[in-house]
Amino acid sequence: MIKNFARGFGALSLALVPLLSSPAAQAAAPMPEVTMLADAVGLVQVTEEDRTGYTRSSFKHWNSGDDASDGCNTRAEVLIAEAVVAPTVGAGCKLTGGTWVSYYDGQEVTSAGSLDIDHMVALAEAWDSGASAWSAARREAYANDQGSTVSLVAVTARTNRQKSDQDPADWMPPSPEAQCRYVGEWVATKLRWGLTADDRELEALKVYAEGPCEDTIVRYTPVV
C-alpha cells in the first residue's frame, strides 16, 4: 500500500538538493510557507478576471513529466504517485491494476482510465487570474506542476467535469469531508503561483476560512 509515497519522496529529494549544493543555491531556494487558512486567504490579491484570448493550448500538457527518462508523461506520473495500491507500469508507461481514491467524492477507482488529472486551479481560471501575462514556458510549468502535491490531483472524471473551470464560489467537492482540504489546496495553489482572485471567489473563500474550515492549515512554496 502506498499513498502519495512516490510524489512525497520526490518532493523530499528535491528539498534535499539545495542542502547538497552551494551556499548560494541554498540561499536562492524558496522556503515553504505555512499559515492558517484565514491568513492565507488574506494574502491573495483581488482583481477582476479577464478571459480574453484564452485557449487551452496556451498551456502545454501533458509533457514528459518530472523524469523524462521513465517514458511516462505528467498524467501517468501523477497516477503512479497518487495510487493507494501501485499499478503495474508496462511498456509505453501503460498502467494496469492499481487503486486510487478520488478525494472529491470519496470514490475508490481501480482503472486509471476512469480518472482525470485535475488542475486544482483550472487552466482557464489561472488564465483569468494572471497566467495570461506569463511566458509559454511558465504556463507549461504550471500545467505540469508536480513540485507541489496539491497542484494536480487524480479524481473521477465525473467530478472533474462537473467542476470544469469553476472556482469555489460556484463549485465545491460533493463530499463534505473534502471541502476544507479543497479550499486549503485551492488557496495554496493561488499563492504558490501568484494568482489573483475576483470578489465573488474571495468572499466564498472567506466564508469557509472564517467558518467550518477555520482550523485548516495552508502550506505552499512560491514559484519564483
Q: What gap in Å lies between CA 118 and CA 154, rounded to an integer?
A: 6
Q: Calculate what percentage of the chain has a pLDDT beyond 70.
A: 87
- For the entire predicted model, the pTM comes to 0.87
101-126 confidence digits (pLDDT tens): 999 999 999 999 999 999 999 999 99
d(CA 179, CA 172): 6
**Nine-digit cell string for 132:** 495570461
Give the pLDDT band of residue 6 (cuts 50, 70, 90).
Answer: very low
**What's the confidence (pLDDT) of residue 28?**
59
Which pLDDT tens digit goes with each residue over 63-106? 999 999 999 999 999 999 999 999 999 999 999 999 999 999 99
CA atoms within 13 A on the CB side of 204: 19
Cell numbers for 14:
528535491
Q: What digits encode the pLDDT tens for the residues 9-31?
A: 333 333 333 333 444 444 556 78
